[in-house]
């Protein structure tokens, strides 16, 4: 019956089928599409990202190029360093501020809630004429307070003085509570209230050690939003997440849905310990649900340059930008992609066996040959290179593939076909 039905059913073309009919999206089935996200992006690659034990501080020219790529990707702000870290840091920050002047992306810097950390920012602003947001941070959790021997009253005083110093010198200030996801509600309330009353323009919720899960994110963001509403304050709410439990991206998406107004992330998720939310994957996931319409064609260069300049290898199986992401040698999978290509529709070929369309980021599907490949793999591979896929040539390549415990290289395939 199945065979008869298939023969009698007319074969439809892509012009006869609505693309939405080919993919039922359970991600949006219940609530409908999310719409454009009223959220901004803060790139932490050149500050928090460089705290990775495996990272090296990139050359200044590479930092400049990375900032340019961030701007092309529609990222709104970038944390470009710690002014209190020394002369090299301040020199790089100063140059990056000048380079960012004609761009849409704007700079911020990280400082402890200590006046001596913030004072260099005043000099940088005067020297460059570029506004710089100060991200003033202090720990907030009981475990951190205990380890540091901090008294809450002292923390509040330091926070108030730091924010007020920024206001006095016309510096926009974001007040950052480290380890917010393990902090007591009463401490969170009084710290944020103090900072907002002192003039902070933004407050930042931090999952500093990757403790949170999406349910915790929703609870904490909801608490902070209620506090801001109670205070009648017009301040932005940021989310800064790490991925110690592997939940960085999921938590950041949850934070966006819960109503934060800016989220932090880094290229490839580079950062301290297991790293931060991945900026590249965050942008891709938001674009796939039409929450943003950013042009992501520069993402590949952004990831490559970050990997090379920071010295963090890009795993082969890294989503989207790893070498394995759009490559297959499995017979059934490859056959479906090949059939889609032969229909002459790139949209179909880029989605039939992929959750991310390769062409969205300037890449393409790749079919190769290995021990699980079939004839269609070899025929496609040879035809793409202008080689006649004779039965003999295909047979020789397949025979080699079946006795080789890995994918064949292009040289091996071509040599077998020629032989």
- The number of CA neighbours under 13 Å toward the Cβ of 371 is 5
Q: Which tens digits make up the pLDDT trace of 41-99?
A: 999 999 999 999 999 999 999 999 999 999 999 999 999 999 988 899 999 999 999 99
Residues 6+ apart with CB under 8 A from 106: 76, 77, 78, 100, 131, 133
pLDDT band at 2 (very low <50, low <70, confident <90, very high): very low
**Residue range(s) defining the domain that contains residue 368:** 327-418
The answer to the question of residue 346 being in a domain is: yes
- Tell me what pLDDT residue 29 has: 64
For residue 107, give the nearest of 65, 145, 79 by alpha carbon: 79
Q: Can you name the residues that pair with 133 across neighbouring β-strands?
A: 108
Please check whether residue 390 lies inside any domain of the structure.
Answer: yes
- Neighbouring residues of 352: CB distance < 8 A, sequence distance ≥ 6: 336, 337, 339, 340
Cα dist. 373→180, 326, 343, 355, 412 in Å? 50, 16, 21, 21, 15
- Claim to verify: residue 297 and residue 340 sit in the same structural domain: no
Q: Read off the pTM.
A: 0.89
Instruction: Kindly report the CATH number assigned to the domain that includes residue 300.
Output: 3.20.20.70
Identify how many contiguous H helices and E strands the chain contains and give both numbers: 17, 10
Please tell me whether residues 272 and 365 are part of one structural domain. Answer: no
- Is residue 113 within 8 Å of 84, Cβ to Cβ? no
R_g of the chain computed on alpha carbons: 26
What does residue 408 show for φ and ψ, rounded to 5 degrees? -80, 145
Mean pLDDT for 216-236 is: 97
Residue 2 lies in a domain: no
Q: pLDDT tens across 190-213, in order?
A: 999 999 999 999 999 999 999 999
User: CA-to-CA distance for 379 and 368, rounded, in angstroms?
Assistant: 10
The pLDDT score that the predictor gives to residue 23 is 81
pLDDT digits (tens, 9 = 90+) for 287-340: 998 899 999 999 999 999 999 999 999 999 999 999 988 888 887 888 888 888
Mean pLDDT of 357-365: 88
pLDDT at 232 over 90: yes
Question: Is residue 320 situated within a structural domain?
Answer: no
Residues 300 and 343 in one domain: no
- Given this model, what pLDDT does residue 4 score? 38
Indicate if 286 and 351 belong to the same structural domain.
no
Q: What is the pLDDT of residue 390?
A: 92
Confidence class for position 13, pLDDT limits 50, 70, 90: low
CB of 251 closer than 8 Å to CB of 260:
no
Judge whether residue 374 has pLDDT over 70: yes
Beta-bridge partner residues of 137: 112, 176
Q: What is the pLDDT of residue 365?
A: 86
Q: What is the pLDDT of residue 5?
A: 38
Residue 6 has pLDDT above 80, yes or no: no
- Looking at the structure, do residues 295 and 406 belong to the same domain, yes or no? no
Identify the pLDDT of residue 25.
Answer: 78
Is residue 91 in some structural domain? yes
Quick: pLDDT tens for 124-159: 999 999 999 999 999 999 999 999 999 999 999 999
Choosing from 243, 276, 310, the residue where a domain stops is 310
CA separation, residue 163 to residues 118, 123, 257, 370 (Å): 10, 17, 29, 60
150-189 residue pLDDT tens: 999 999 999 999 999 999 999 999 999 999 999 999 999 9
* Cβ contact 176:240 at 8 Å: yes
Whether 297 and 402 share a structural domain: no
Classify 217 as helix, strand or coil: helix
Whether 27 is covered by a domain: the verdict is: no
Check residue 1 and give its pLDDT: 36
Instruction: Mark whether 290 and 380 lie in a shared domain.
Output: no
Q: How confident is the model at residue 9 (pLDDT cuts 50, 70, 90)?
A: very low
Residue 387 has pLDDT above 80, yes or no: yes
Domain boundary among 280, 310, 340: 310
Q: Which of 310, 341, 361 is the last residue of a domain?
A: 310
| Structural tokens at position 177 | 């509570």
Same domain, 230 and 331: no
Q: In this structure, are 358 and 241 located in the same domain? A: no
The number of distinct structural domains making up the chain is 2
- How far is residue 361 from each of residues 294, 352, 355, measured CA to CA in Å? 11, 17, 13
Asked if residue 331 and residue 306 are part of one domain, the reply reads no
Q: What is the pLDDT of residue 12?
A: 55
Q: Are 291 and 413 found together in one domain? A: no
Angle, CA 198 vertex, CA 256 and CA 142 arms, to 5°: 65
Query: Sorting pLDDT into bands at 50, 70 and 90, what band is 3?
Result: very low
Domain for residue 26, yes or no? no
Beta carbons of 167 and 206 less than 8 angstroms apart: no
Q: Is 273 helix (H, G, I), strand (E, B) or coil?
A: coil
Average pLDDT over residues 380-400: 91
Contacts of range 282-286, beta carbons closer than 8 Å, 24 or more positions apart = 282/41, 282/249, 282/252, 282/253, 283/41, 283/73, 284/319, 284/320, 284/356, 284/360, 284/361, 285/249, 285/253, 286/37, 286/253, 286/256
Q: What is the DSSP string of 125-184?
A: HHHH----EEEEEEE-SHHHHHHHT--HHHHHHHHHHHHHHHHHTT--EEEEEETGGGS-
Phi (first) and psi of residue 194, to 5 degrees: -60, -45
Q: Are residues 334 and 292 in the same domain?
A: no
pLDDT per residue as tens digits for the range 262-291:
999 999 999 999 999 999 999 999 999 889
Considering the domain boundaries, does residue 14 fall inside one?
no
Q: Tokens at residue 220, please?
A: 């904490």
């Amino acid at each position: 019956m199945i065979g008869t039905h298939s023969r009698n059913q007319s074969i439809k073309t892509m012009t006869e089928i609505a693309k939405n009919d080919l993919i039922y999206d359970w991600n949006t089935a219940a609530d409908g599409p999310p719409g454009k996200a009223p959220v901004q992006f803060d790139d932490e690659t050149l500050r928090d990202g460089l705290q990775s034990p495996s990272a090296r501080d990139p050359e200044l020219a590479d930092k400049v190029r990375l900032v340019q790529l961030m701007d092309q990707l529609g990222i709104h702000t970038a944390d470009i360093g710690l002014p209190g870290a020394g002369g090299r840091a301040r020199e790089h920050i100063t140059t990056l501020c000048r380079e960012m002047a004609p761009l849409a992306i704007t700079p911020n810097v990280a400082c402890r809630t200590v006046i001596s950390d913030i004072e260099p920012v005043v000099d940088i602003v005067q020297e460059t004429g570029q506004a710089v947001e100060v991200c003033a941070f202090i720990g907030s959790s009981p475990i951190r307070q205990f380890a540091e021997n901090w008294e809450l009253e002292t923390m509040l005083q330091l926070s108030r003085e730091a924010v007020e110093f920024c206001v006095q010198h016309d510096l926009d200030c974001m007040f950052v509570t480290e380890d917010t996801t393990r902090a007591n509600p009463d401490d969170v309330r009084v710290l944020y209230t103090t900072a907002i009353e002192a003039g902070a323009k933004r407050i930042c919720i931090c999952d500093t050690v990757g403790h949170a899960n999406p349910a915790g994110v929703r609870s904490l963001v909801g608490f902070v939003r209620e506090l801001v509403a109670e205070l009648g304050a017009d301040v932005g709410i940021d989310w800064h997440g790490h991925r110690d439990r592997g939940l960085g991206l999921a938590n950041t998406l949850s934070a966006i849905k819960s109503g934060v107004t800016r989220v932090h992330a880094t290229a490839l998720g580079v950062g301290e310990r297991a790293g931060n939310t991945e900026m590249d994957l965050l942008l891709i996931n938001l674009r796939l649900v039409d929450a943003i319409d950013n042009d992501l064609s520069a993402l590949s260069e952004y990831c490559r340059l970050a990997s090379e300049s920071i010295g963090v290898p890009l795993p082969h199986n890294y989503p989207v930008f790893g070498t394995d992401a759009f490559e297959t040698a499995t017979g059934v999978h490859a056959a479906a992609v090949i059939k889609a290509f032969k229909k002459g529709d790139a949209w179909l070929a880029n989605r039939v066996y992929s959750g991310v369309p390769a062409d969205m980021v300037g890449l393409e599907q790749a079919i190769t040959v290995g021990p699980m490949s079939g004839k269609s793999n070899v025929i496609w591979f040879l035809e793409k290179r202008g080689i006649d896929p004779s039965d003999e040539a295909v047979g020789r390549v397949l025979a080699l593939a079946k006795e080789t415990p890995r994918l064949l290289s292009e040289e091996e395939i071509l040599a077998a076909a020629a032989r």
